[in-house]
Amino acid sequence: MDAKRPRNTLDGDGRPKSTPRKAMSPSESAPGGPDAVTCGAGGHNGRVERVLRVLRVLVEDETARRIVKWFAAGLGFMGISTLLLFALVDLLSLSVPLATLLVAELSTLLRFLVNHRWVFGLRNPTLRACIQYHVANAGAFAVWWTTANVLTVLGVHYLWAGILAVACSTSVSLATNFLWIWRRRRHL
């Protein structure tokens, strides 16, 4: 360390605090790559650049677009299944066990069709893919149920256990949908 320079004169980027920073346009890159772009308090331009870079990947990368669509469909069907459950129980006076069974199957079939056409861009759904989707959903449910119960036994509050279990079952569902049911098949 330079004996003439007092300690603690470096900023968070390792530069001397007295060194002025040059404001950079979004097309410029700071030394150290595009993530090093900073300007003003808190590196606002650097964060904007990172967000723009992520958005560019999501728009340009086909797999990333499909994953975003897959999550959007899942969130949409969470709302749809809630409305269907309300309609069957409160409007049609079905019992909750029967209503949940009907909603689960109807949502599974509809989401299969949405995933097949909108997420993966395929036209003609097959019975084989539909059966695989049902098996994948059953597997994801088994992972959710097991994880939630094991975490609860280990002392995790049941609500947190349920939330953590959703993350596990979503990972299984994502993997089975992208790597099994709708995986890209290579034609020789």
pLDDT digits 0-9 by tens, 63-100: 889 999 999 999 998 899 899 999 999 999 999 999 99
Structure tokens at 177: 């949908």
Give residue 9's pLDDT.
52
93 to each of 77, 99, 102, 106, how far by Cα in Å? 22, 9, 13, 18
- pTM higher than the cut 0.85: no
pLDDT tens track for 130-187:
999 999 999 999 999 999 999 999 999 999 999 999 999 999 999 999 999 998 765 5
Give residue 23's pLDDT.
52
Handedness of CA 165, 179, 62, 113 (dihedral sign): negative
Greatest Cα pair distance in the chain: 82
Burial of 112 (0-12, 13-18, 19+ CB in 10 A): buried
- Cα–Cα dist 176/129, whole Å: 11
Give residue 119's pLDDT.
93
Q: Is the pLDDT of residue 18 over 60?
A: no
Q: What is the CA radius of gyration of the chain?
A: 25
First to last CA, the chain: 62
Give residue 47's pLDDT.
86
Residue written as token pair 């669509």: 69
Tell me the mean pLDDT in the region 8-25. 51
Give residue 12's pLDDT.
54
Element (H, E) at 84: helix 62-86
* SS3 at position 33: strand
Tell me the mean pLDDT in the region 96-109. 92
Tell me the mean pLDDT in the region 40-60. 74
- Beta bridge pairs of residue 33: 30
